[in-house]
């Protein structure tokens, strides 16, 4: 496989962009080799600048649930662009997208559109603090909520593989109100709440963790968080940037039957464009300026092209409820292929899957939390990643990300992937 052009662009990029990338995981540091520079993507495939085409399981890290460049989404964006790219004034599309989101997630009575998941979470936390008049928050070790200062504490995603779970450049005073509990460990939450509960503004959680690989909530864990936050008058924030509109049209909150006070969304709601949102109970969201005293603003918030992509994507998903069953089946088939390989070859493999999100960890410990996730043999993952790439299949370039499946992956492509997974020869470079 020729990758000369990617390599050349990577060399040039490194001269002007730190590490040659605009988001660390893209640099392939966790798997070795140089990143592929992508020329275009269509449906379930991406093509690099050297002309190599791959079956894509990164799916832009989640947004491409319909596959890349869905014709209806592209057409909606083109139409919006022709009318102007940004106005910094209200539009009909913003309202329609907000209505669609509210309809899908009854816990969201009002919402604000922003540009990225990081911004959505940062704003939701500010609202929680403004509403409760409390400063502390609790997050979970290995959960990732974007790169705002107060949340870069024991974070997941590339913060995990680049060894900066606590980033330099974040003053200690910015994180002293961030308490860290253990995912799926009620006792650790209970302990913090007993000590600090009446000063805790919110507990924020990825309802299905998808930034330390995929880790499912244990039965009752999310319900426990709902109860304990109510008990102490704190808010429960579901970070559904990844799970929203992916686990089902109503997100993880619908799947697990839990109604959070605030929700953050991103990825799918922008249909591939930079768009995110935070929302929740009306009384809480009415704290946001200009109604209330919690300030949050943005020149490109509710951008016309991004909202057009989001509306088209959500309308397609809403009108095809069967897609979610198909995605679940595809996820199960891929998970089963990993399990079969593990059993047949006596390999240490733990497979976690929730709908179209999945991850195979190279460890013999069931993966329920951060510590079990990092017991995974990342060199083994790196070898598997390179093998899959050679087989024309593009996986996340890190053990600690999810494998994303889209509506565009055909049954044949899933079978082809399952075969490649099963046939993975155990080798190391
Ligand atoms: N935080 C994202 C993965 N969980 C990274 C996205 C990107 O590099 O595009």
Domains and CATH numbers, the chain: 4-69+321-423 (3.90.1150.10), 71-319 (3.40.640.10)
Average pLDDT estimate for 26-33 = 94
Distance 61 CA to ligand 1 centre (A): 6
Average pLDDT estimate for 198-226 = 98
Predicted local distance difference test score (pLDDT) of residue 291: 97
How far is the C-alpha of 375 from the C-alpha of 392, rounded, in Å?
A: 28
Q: Considering only residues 1 and 220, tell me which one the structure prediction assigns the higher pLDDT.
A: 220
Question: What ligand 1 atom has the least distance to the C-alpha of 396?
Answer: 3
Phi, psi torsion values for 215, nearest 5 degrees: -130, 120
Q: Residue 175's pLDDT band (boundaries 50, 70, 90)?
A: confident
Per residue in 76-133, pLDDT (tens digit) is: 999 999 999 999 999 999 999 999 999 999 999 999 999 999 999 999 999 999 999 9
Predicted local distance difference test score (pLDDT) of residue 165: 54
- The yes-or-no answer on residue 144 being catalytic is yes
Average pLDDT estimate for 190-214 = 97
Predicted local distance difference test score (pLDDT) of residue 174: 85
Is the confidence at residue 428, as pLDDT, over 80? no
Q: Residue 159's pLDDT band (boundaries 50, 70, 90)?
A: low
The residue among 290, 314, 129 whose CA lies nearest residue 203 is: 129
- The yes-or-no answer on residue 267 being catalytic is yes
Predicted local distance difference test score (pLDDT) of residue 163: 45
Predicted local distance difference test score (pLDDT) of residue 171: 85
Distance 211 CA to ligand 1 centre (A): 9
Return the SS3 of 209.
Answer: strand
List residues near ligand 1 (CB under 6 A): 23, 25-26, 61, 157, 211, 401
Q: Residue 161's pLDDT band (boundaries 50, 70, 90)?
A: low
Per residue in 392-416, pLDDT (tens digit) is: 999 999 999 999 999 999 999 999 9
Q: What are the DSSP calls for 93-125, one per residue?
A: HHHHHHHHHHHH-TT-SEEEEESSHHHHHHHHH
Is the confidence at residue 214, as pLDDT, over 90? yes
Distance 152 CA to ligand 1 centre (A): 14
Q: How far is CA 410 from the centre of its chain?
A: 23
Predicted local distance difference test score (pLDDT) of residue 201: 98
């Amino acid at each position: 496989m020729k990758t000369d052009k990617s390599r050349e662009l990577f060399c040039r990029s490194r001269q002007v962009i730190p590490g040659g990338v605009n988001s660390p995981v893209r640099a392939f540091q966790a798997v070795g080799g140089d990143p592929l520079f992508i020329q275009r993507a269509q449906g379930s495939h991406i093509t690099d600048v050297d002309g190599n085409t791959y079956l894509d399981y990164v799916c832009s890290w989640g947004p491409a649930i319909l596959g890349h460049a869905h014709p209806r989404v592209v057409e909606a964006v083109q139409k919006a662009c022709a009318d102007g790219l940004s106005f910094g004034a209200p539009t009909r599309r913003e309202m329609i997208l907000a209505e669609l989101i509210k309809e899908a997630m009854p816990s969201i009575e009002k919402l604000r559109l922003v540009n990225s998941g990081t911004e959505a979470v940062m704003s939701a936390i500010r609202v929680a603090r403004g509403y409760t008049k409390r400063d502390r928050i609790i997050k979970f070790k290995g959960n990732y909520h974007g790169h705002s200062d107060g949340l870069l504490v024991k974070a997941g995603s590339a913060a995990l593989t680049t060894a900066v779970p606590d980033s330099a450049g974040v003053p200690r005073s910015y994180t002293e109100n961030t308490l860290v509990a253990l995912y799926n460990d009620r006792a650790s939450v209970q302990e913090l709440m007993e000590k600090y509960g009446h000063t805790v503004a919110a507990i924020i959680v990825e309802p299905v963790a998808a930034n330390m690989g995929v880790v499912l909530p244990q039965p009752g864990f999310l319900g426990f968080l709902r109860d304990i936050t109510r008990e102490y008058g704190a808010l429960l924030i579901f970070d559904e940037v990844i799970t929203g509109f992916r686990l089902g049209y109503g997100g993880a909150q619908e799947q697990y039957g839990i109604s959070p006070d605030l929700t953050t969304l991103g990825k799918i709601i922008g249909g591939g464009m930079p768009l995110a949102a935070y929302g929740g109970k009306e009384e809480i969201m009415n704290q946001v300026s200009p109604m209330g005293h919690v300030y949050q603003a943005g020149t490109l918030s509710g951008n016309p092209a991004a909202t057009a992509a989001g509306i088209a994507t959500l309308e397609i998903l809403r009108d095809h409820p069967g897609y979610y069953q198909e995605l679940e089946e595809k996820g199960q088939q891929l998970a089963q292929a990993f399990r079969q390989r593990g059993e047949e070859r006596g390999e240490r493999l733990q497979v976690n899957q929730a709908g179209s999100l999945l991850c195979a960890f190279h460890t013999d410990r069931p993966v329920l939390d951060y510590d079990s996730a990092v017991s995974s043999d990342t060199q083994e993952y790196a070898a598997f990643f390179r093998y899959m790439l050679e087989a024309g299949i593009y996986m996340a370039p890190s053990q600690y990300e999810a494998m994303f499946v889209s509506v565009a992956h055909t049954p044949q492509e899933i079978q082809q992937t399952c075969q490649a997974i099963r046939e993975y020869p155990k080798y190391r470079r």
